[in-house]
Amino acid sequence: MDRDTIRRIQTRLAELGHYHDEIDGVRGDNTHAAVRLALTALATGVPADWPDWSEKRQTIGFYQHFCLSKGIDAGPIDGWWGPQTDHADWALAQLLETGSVPAWRDIAPSADNPNGWPAESGVTAFYGPHGAADWSRPPPKLVKVASPYTFKLAWNKSERRSFLWAHERTAASLGRILAEIMRHYGGDAIARLGLDIFSGDYHPRLKRGSATQWSMHAWGIAYDFDDENNKLPWGADRARFAKPDYLPFWSIWEAEGWVSLGRSRNRDWMHVQAARLN
């Protein structure tokens, strides 16, 4: 649960007359007391053993009931935050903000480009030369961008790294994106959704299947995440990152003008880049 979710819970508790404190997104003692009052009032709407649950689990159970009361399937009211509850959280946020829950497939990628990222055909003019696989020329000017959460290496998940390499012109944008992902999801959700599985950043190579076109990775302006569950040819019917749980993740990137190949072309859902598609 992030702070926005807690605010929705506090607002609902206030509407029911159980919460009289600030709507601050902090799951403190007053919020827990209000959750217990609400669950007691629901009586038959929740499992009988809910008083034995932890405070966090009680809060999740109340939120699951709240989602169900709005016609959103959050799964069984069990106090455990799984993929179904995660989807219900997204759907409820959309409902409360817009009055309806749009279908995931109907949400088009944002066209925002506040940083002025170039089209793929103009990356050399904008970023300079790409790196060479044989190191015959120096790599682009790369910056090590610290991450507020730790990445697991996809090929060896026991290894960790706390940064991403970025072209100097994308470094500030990447830093804002990582900070916003952490703010929105929090560390537990990031790990549960596999957003912390690093599959690649700077890599001077050609595009897969091409003998002439260089990958955006060769400029240090592209990233791959969780390639095992988002394989290059997979569409939205199979890719993990195509699920509604990941819409905030993609919206954060798109707000900075980055492009998801999955959202734009329905393939390579692992990949995001600071270059517009030609």
pLDDT score of 151: 98
| Structure confidence by residue, pLDDT tens digits, 156-208 | 999 999 999 999 999 999 999 999 999 999 999 999 999 999 999 999 999 88
Cα 66 from chain centroid? 23
CB neighbour list of residue 96: distance below 8 Å, 6 or more residues apart: 8
pLDDT score of 236: 84
- pTM for the structure as a whole: 0.67
Query: Which one is predicted more confidently, 180 or 136?
Result: 180
| Structure confidence by residue, pLDDT tens digits, 26-64 | 999 999 999 999 999 997 779 999 999 999 999 999 999
Mean pLDDT of 271-276: 98
pLDDT score of 40: 94
Residue found under tokens 């404190």? 21
For the chain, the average pLDDT equals 92
pLDDT score of 104: 61
Rounded Cα gap, residues 186 and 148, in angstroms: 10
Q: Does the pLDDT at position 103 exceed 70?
A: no
Cα 104 from chain centroid? 14
**Percent of the residues in the chain that have a pLDDT greater than 70, as a whole number:** 98
Which domains are assigned to the chain?
Answer: 3-102 (no CATH), 120-273 (3.30.1380)
φ and ψ at residue 149, rounded to 5 degrees: -130, 155
| Structure confidence by residue, pLDDT tens digits, 107-129 | 778 889 999 999 999 999 999 99
HEC string of 165-219 equals EEECCCHHHHHHHHHHHHHHHHHHHHHHHCCCEEEECCCCCECCCCCCCECHHHH
The strands making up 259-260's β-sheet, listed across from edge to edge, are 156-167, 142-153, 197-200, 222-225, 271-273, 259-260
pLDDT score of 200: 96
**Percent of the residues in the chain that have a pLDDT greater than 90, as a whole number:** 75
What is the pairing mode between strands 142-153 and 197-200?
A: parallel
Mean pLDDT of 221-237: 93
pLDDT score of 210: 82
Which of 68, 18, 12 has the alpha carbon at shortest distance from 45?
Answer: 68
Q: Which two tokens stand for residue 126?
A: 């904008």
Which of 238, 170, 177, 173 has the alpha carbon at shortest distance from 202?
Answer: 170
Q: Does the pLDDT at position 96 exceed 80?
A: yes
Mean pLDDT of 260-270: 94
Count the Cβ atoms, other than its own, within 10 Å of residue 163: 15
Q: What angle do CA 118, 239, 64 make, to 5 degrees?
A: 110
